[in-house]
Structure 1
Amino acid sequence: MDHIILEIGLAVVLIAIAGLLSAKLKFSVIPFYIIVGMVVGPHAPKWGVFDFRFIESAPLIEFMGRLGVLFLLFYLGLEFSVGRLIKSGRSIVVGGTIYIGINFTLGLLYALLAGMPLKEMLVIAGITTISSSAIVAKVLVDLKRTANPETEMILGITLFEDVFLAVYISILSGLVLSGSTSITGVAVSALIALGFMLAIIVIGRKAVPLLNKLLDIRSNELFLLVVFGALMVVAGFSETIHVAEAIGALLVGLVLAETEHMKRIEHLILPFRDFFGAMFFFSFGLTIDPTALGGAVWLALGAVAITLIGNFVAGLLAGRSAGLSQKASVNIGLTIASRGEFSIVLAGLGKAGGLLGILQPFAALYVLILAILGPLLTKESKHVYRLLFARRSRSEPAKDPAQSSIERVQPEREG
C-alpha cells in the first residue's frame, strides 16, 4: 500500500492520455478507457523486467468505478424527470417486454445451438439480454441525446431490465448455487424491487415542495453534502433489496429533476460524473484477463451478431409501439446494444456455481466487443439508418411543400 497514491496518479494519467487519443481520432472514449485498463490490469502479462500492472490499487479503483456508475445514472436522471417517465408508463412496459422477450429468446436459442447444458444456457441468455446502464448513460450524455424523444423509451427499458434482473438473478442463483429455487421467494423479490421503484417515484414527486425548501442552502459545500448523502443512502439501500445501486441513483436523479434546484445540482455534479465515470470504464478494463479470451472468440462473436440483430429488431418494434419514428426506433436499438457490468455479474454467478469455465472469458470478450461497437454504432446511427432505409426513403412520394417548409423551421435534434 506504500505506492497506492502513485498508482492512482498513474491511472489518472493513463486515462487522460486515452481520452486525448480518442478526441484526436474523433472516436468514442469508452473503448479507449477499457482497453488501457485491460493492458495494465492485474491479469495482464509482465512487460519484460518491468511490471506496470495495477495490482495494489485495483480494489480502490474498482470502488471509484462504482461511484462513477452512480454519478452517470444520477446525472442521466437529472436530464430526464419523473413526469416524463410516468407519461410513458404503458409504452415502457410494452417496449421493455418486447426488448427482454426478443433478446432472452435469442440468447437461449444461441446457447442451445452451441451445445451448452441447461444452466449454462440460462447464464448465457442473461448475459446477452441485459444492457449496460453505465455505458448507455455515458453515450446519451456525450452525444447530447437526453432530450430526444426516444430517450424516454431507452431509460424505461433500463428500468424494466432491472426489475427483470432482480427476478432473474433470484431464479438463477437458486438453480446454479443451491439446485432449487422458491417461487414465493422470487415473487417477493420482484414485488419488492418494483414496489421500491414506484415508491421512490411517487413519494419523491409528492415531496417536491419539501425538497425545494430542504435544498435551499446557500453554501455549495453543504448543498453537495446533502445531495450526495441522499444519493449514496438511496443507492446503497436499493442494493440491499436486490435492486441495482445504479438504478437507485437514477431514481434519485429523476426525483431531484422535478425540483427548482435541478440546474444547480447538474452544474455541481458534472466534474464528479466525468472523473469517476472515466474511472469506471478503466476499472472495468482491469477485470478483464486478456490471456483467457482466445478460447471464447467464436462463441463471443456469434453472440455479438445475434445481440446486434436482436437489439435492432427490438428497438424498431418497441419504438413503433410507442409511436416513435423509424429513425428514433433505430436509435433505441443501437443505444442499448452495449453490454457491461450486469453481464459480468451473471458470468461471476456461473463461476461461483462451478459451471463451464468458458463462461468467464466469453462474457469478458463479448462485453468488450459490444462496449466498443455499441457507442460507435450509436454515434453513427444517422449513417446506419440511411444505409438500411435509404432505398425506402427514395421510393417514398414527395412531401407537400407547405409541410416541408414547416419541418425546416423545426430544428432537428442530434441523432
Structure 2
Amino acid sequence: MHSAVFLIEFGAILLGLGLLGRFAGRLRFSPIPLYLLAGLAFGEGGLLPLGASEEFVAIGAEIGVILLLLMLGLEYTASDLVSNLKTQYPAGLVDATLNALPGALMALLLGWGPVAAVVLAGVTWVSSSGVIAKVLGDLGRLGNRETPVVLSILVLEDLSMAVYLPIVTALLAGSGLAAGSVTLGIALGVAGLVLLLAVRFGRHISRFVSSDDPEKLLLVVLGLTLLVAGVAQQLQVSAAVGAFLVGIALSGEVAEGAHHLLSPLRDLFAAVFFVFFGLHTNPADIPPVLLPALALAAVTTLTKIATGYWAAKRAGISAKGRWRAGGTLVARGEFSIVIAGLAVTAGTEASLGPLATAYVLILVILGPLTARWTEPLARRLVAMRRERGPVREEGAEVATVPGPRTAVEHRHDTADPS
C-alpha cells in the first residue's frame, strides 16, 4: 500500500512539473518560480501535504543540485577556471562586501547578536548556483560573453563556502579556536586537493572515464560525480563544489558526451530540487518576517546587480552584457538555506529560519525575472533619458574573456560585443 501511495504521489509530482514546464515554455518564462510555488502548495502547511514520497524527493533534490553544478563545470576547462579566478578575484571581494554586509546589519538591527549576524551575512552573500545554472540554460546564455564573469563569481562564492561553513559551524557550536582551526584546515585542504587534481590530471581523468558505449560513460561519470560530491560533503566541503570540479576535470569528447547524456537527468532532478525547496517551507511562518525579508531582498537585489555590472565592466563587456550579468546573480537558494538550517538546528535565533526562508523564496522567484528583464529595462530607461536630452554614449571596448568550450560563435558589432 505504501508503495502504491509513493508511486501515485511521485507520479503526480512529475506530471505536474511537466505541465508547469510546458505552460512556462509557452510564455517564454523560466519554470523555476512555478516549481517553487507547487512545492509550497504541497508542503508542510500547504493545501495537500505529501507523505510517502517526501524522503525520495529529498534525495532527488540533492542529486539535482549536484547535476546542475556538474553540467556547469562541463562547460569550462580547468585552464578557463584558473584564468577566470585570477582575473575575477577582485569581483569576489566586491561581491562579499556588498552582499554580506546588509545581512549582518539587519541581524544587528533586529538585536540578534554577532553570531546570528555572521549567519545572516552568509545567507545574503551567496547566490544560488543551481538556480542561476538553470536560468542560464533556459535563457540560452551559456555562450554569452558575460557568462564567464557570472560563473567566476559563483565559483568564488562556492569555494568561499569551504572556508565560511566550518567557521560558522564552530561559532554555532561554541567550539574553541583549536577545534575550529582543525575543521577549517581539513576543508581547505580537501578543496585545494580536488582543484589540483582537476587542473593537473584532468586529461588522465578524462581518459579513465572515456568510453564509446553511452551507457558505460553515463554510469561512470554519474558514479564518479556522486562519489566525489559525497566525500567532499563528508569532509565539510560543499558537495556542489565537488561536483563542479569533476565537471571541470573532464574535457574534450568525454565532456561533450557526458553533457548530452546527462542533460535530461539534470532537468528532471533540478525540477525536483526546486519543488523540495518549497515543500519544506510552511506558508504560515512567512507573514511575521515578511517586511524585514522584503527590505533585505530589495537592498541585496540592487547590490547583486551592482556587483555583476561592475565585474562585467571590469572584464570589458558592453553595457547590455553588464546589466545581464547583474540581473543573473540576484537569485539566492541552496547555500542560503543550508546556512540558515545550521543556525536553526543550533537554536541561535527562532526567527532567523523563517526570515531566511522568506528572503530566499522572494529572491529565488525574483531572480529569473531580473535575469530576463534587467537589461531590457535598463535599455528602456536609457532610451527615455535620450528622449529628454543628449547623453554621452558609453564605450564598448572588449577584453578577451575565456569562454566555455561548448559556446557557439555570436555575431558582435562594435556597439554591443556582449
TM-score (norm 1): 0.88
> In the alignment, what sits opposite 1:104?
100
> In the alignment, what sits opposite 1:163?
159
> In the alignment, what sits opposite 2:14?
12
What is the Cα deviation at residue 164 of structure 1? 2.1
* Cα gap change, 1:44 to 1:170, in 2 (>3 Å): same
Instruction: List aligned pairs for 1:63-74, cutoff 5 A.
Output: 63-74=59-70
Instruction: List aligned pairs for 1:26-105, cutoff 5 A.
Output: 26-41=28-43, 43-45=44-46, 52-105=48-101
Instruction: List aligned pairs for 1:257-406, cutoff 5 A.
Output: 258-390=251-383, 395-396=391-392
User: Which digits, 9 at most, give the CA deviation of each residue in 1:368-398, with x for residues without a partner?
Assistant: 1101110111012321331454467762359
What is the Cα deviation at residue 19 of structure 1? 1.5
- 174, 178, 183: which one aligns with 2:170: 174
What is the Cα deviation at residue 179 of structure 1? 5.5
SS in 2 for 1:395: coil
- State the alpha-carbon separation in 2 of the partners of residues 236 and 138 from structure 1: 22
> In the alignment, what sits opposite 2:135?
139
SS in 1 for 2:252: coil
* Aligned-CA RMSD value: 2.6
Q: Which structure 2 segments of 5+ residues have no match? A: 397-409
- State the alpha-carbon separation in 2 of the partners of residues 133 and 161 from structure 1: 9
What is the Cα deviation at residue 222 of structure 1? 1.4
TM-score (norm 2): 0.88
- 198, 201, 207: which one aligns with 1:201: 198
Return the letter of the residue paired with 1:44.
Answer: G
Contact 1:167 1:187 in 2 (8 A): yes
Q: What percent of counterpart residues are identical?
A: 33
Contact 1:91 1:153 in 2 (8 A): no
User: Which digits, 9 at most, give the CA deviation of each residue in 1:245-300, with x for residues without a partner?
Assistant: 112111111221x2223322221111111111111111111111111111110010
Return the letter of the residue paired with 2:332.
Answer: R
- State the alpha-carbon separation in 2 of the partners of residues 202 and 212 from structure 1: 12
Aligned residues: 399
* Cα gap change, 1:225 to 1:410, in 2 (>3 Å): same
* Cα gap change, 1:399 to 1:140, in 2 (>3 Å): closer
* Cα gap change, 1:62 to 1:230, in 2 (>3 Å): same
Contact 1:119 1:176 in 2 (8 A): yes
What is the Cα deviation at residue 196 of structure 1? 3.0
> In the alignment, what sits opposite 1:238?
232
What is the Cα deviation at residue 212 of structure 1? 5.1
* Cα gap change, 1:239 to 1:314, in 2 (>3 Å): same
Contact 1:108 1:125 in 2 (8 A): yes
User: Which digits, 9 at most, give the CA deviation of each residue in 1:201-252, with x for residues without a partner?
Assistant: 32343xx1x3454344232211211111211112112212222111211111
Q: Which structure 1 segments of 5+ residues have no match? A: 401-406
- State the alpha-carbon separation in 1 of the partners of residues 12 and 84 from structure 2: 45
* Cα gap change, 1:353 to 1:262, in 2 (>3 Å): closer
User: Which digits, 9 at most, give the CA deviation of each residue in 1:161-181, with x for residues without a partner?
Assistant: 123222222222222222644
> In the alignment, what sits opposite 1:229?
223
What is the Cα deviation at residue 64 of structure 1? 0.6
